[in-house]
Amino acid sequence: MGASVGTMGTARAQYHLRQMFVFLNMFPLNQPEVMIPNAAEQFDEQGNLKDVKTSEKIKELVEALADWTRRLRNGSNG
Segments making up each domain of the chain, as ranges? 2-73
- pLDDT tens, residue by residue, 2-59: 888 888 888 889 999 989 999 999 888 888 999 999 988 999 999 999 999 999 999 9
- pLDDT tens, residue by residue, 59-72: 999 999 999 999 88
- In angstroms, rounded to a whole number, what is the distance separating the alpha carbons of residues 30 and 42? 23
- In angstroms, rounded to a whole number, what is the distance separating the alpha carbons of residues 41 and 48? 11
Query: Cα–Cα distances in Å, from 69 out to 41, 42, 60, 74?
Result: 32, 29, 14, 9
pLDDT (0 to 100) of residue 78:
58
Tell the CATH topology of 2-73: Rossmann fold (3.40.50)
pLDDT (0 to 100) of residue 28:
84
**C-alpha closest to that of 38 among 1, 2, 7:** 7
